[in-house]
Amino acid sequence: MPFLAWIVLGLLAGFIGSKIVNRRGEGIVLDILLGIVGAVVGGWLFRTFGAAGVSGLNLYSLFVAVLGSVVLLVVYHALRGRRAW
């Protein structure tokens, strides 16, 4: 997937994931980074369980990236000691 598409997908996934987890976001840069890493984590988790991972800039990939971002944000908050809910 092209670099710009990863950034757009990461921005959207990080923003949506942050709103789901703590309703206020972590800041634009951290949202993008956690979203991109969340897309990778989500793709890995989906492939581990036998489903397709991130395949491009589409709704399915956004769903996978958001789920990965939510998982990553919950772990991030658990390690930082802040309340995620």
Q: What is the pLDDT along the chain (85 residues), one digit of tens a residue?
A: 566 777 777 788 888 888 888 766 666 677 667 777 877 777 778 778 877 766 677 788 788 888 888 888 888 777 876 554 5
| Count of Cβ atoms closer than 10 Å to residue 4 Cβ | 9
Question: Where along the chain do its domains lie?
Answer: 3-80
Q: Give the C-alpha separation, 53 to 63, whole Å.
A: 10
At 85 the pLDDT is 52
Find out whether 37 and 18 touch, Cβ atoms under 8 Å: no
Give Cβ neighbours of residue 23 (< 8 Å, ≥ 6 apart): none
At 34 the pLDDT is 76
At 64 the pLDDT is 81
At 54 the pLDDT is 67
At 43 the pLDDT is 76
